[in-house]
A and B are shown apart, each in its own frame.
Chain A
């Protein structure tokens, strides 16, 4: 499977899904009108990567997201965490802009119920 690249727009992030090395990068701002349908390709990709027992590296580098996106982010995290629970190798990295304490706290909040390795890093 090739790399899937979704270009960023004003209200949606850049998404790069690389099946070969199991990496998923979500970068930018996310407040599309319909987050569920926007993130559908990500869920589809994750599902096939998990089915193929890929080693996963998920990079969130979001500067802002709305509440409907936050639901999708939680769903992605839960899916990856479940895979980790069943023996999958995963790593999640949550990047926040150096001065953005709120985004750092969101990372802490979102990871509080997870068991998968979750790193919070500034950039």
Chain B
């Protein structure tokens, strides 16, 4: 990407209906600002509360668990990528970040587990997990993925690609049906 083809990127972003695209250091401040942006750009969407909530979970996962950490004076910050796209009937919200290889299997297992459950089973699982102490290494409640699966439409897509001997790249994609209010 350079000066000459910025227009091309502008056009691509428009043609692919990219509502938000960011790669960089994500801190709580950035989460809050992008959250407000998503709220205002999707204000006519009846699913906006769910999209906002899932965005917060995904973005805070990057803040806490990206293996590329860049702490600032105000707290944690992690490097990652966030992408929100609009298609004909759906919104696609994706997050990506580096993780340690040793955590890959555990993340995949959690995704598979929530994907194997229907909404009622997820509700029960959520209630069961919320009263348990968080798992080792968790910096939150350890129920983010369950909440994401409950709020989105369709399976949670999870891909983990090994980058080198110690790191893998985690991609999560969540979909939402479009619905005007």
Contact = CB atoms under 8 A, between A and B. Distances in A.
- Assign chain B's interface to a size class: 20 to 34
Interface residues of A, number: 20
Interface string B39-80: 000000000011011001100100100000000000110000
Interface stretch (A15-23, A44-52, A66-74): A66-74
A113 B130 CA distance: 12
Contacts of B3: none
A6 B161 CA distance: 44
B37 to A, nearest CB: 12
Nearest to A68: B140
A104 B57 CA distance: 21
Interface stretch (B4-12, B96-104, B108-116, B141-149): B141-149
B154 interface: no
A2 interface: no
B171 interface: no
Interface of A: 10-11, 31-35, 64, 66-68, 70-71, 74, 78, 100, 102, 109, 112-113
A67 B28 contact: no
Contacts of A31: 31, 35, 56, 60
Contacts of B60: 31, 33, 66, 68
A64 B123 CA distance: 18
B123 A10 contact: no
Nearest to B28: A33
Contact of A102 (B31, B32, B49): B49
A67 B57 contact: yes
A74 B35 CA distance: 25
B24 interface: no
29 contacts: A10-B36, A11-B28, A31-B31, A31-B56, A33-B28, A33-B75, A35-B140, A35-B141, A64-B49, A64-B52, A66-B60, A66-B140, A67-B57, A67-B141, A67-B144, A68-B60, A68-B139, A68-B140, A70-B141, A70-B143, A71-B130, A71-B134, A71-B140, A71-B141, A74-B130, A74-B131, A100-B49, A102-B49, A109-B123
Contacts of B139: 34, 68
A67 B49 contact: no
A109 B130 CA distance: 12
B118 interface: no
Given A34-B75, A102-B49, A67 B32 contact: no
B127 interface: yes
B70 to A, nearest CB: 14
Contacts of B53: 64, 66
Contact of B131 (A32, A34, A78): A78
A14 B162 CA distance: 43
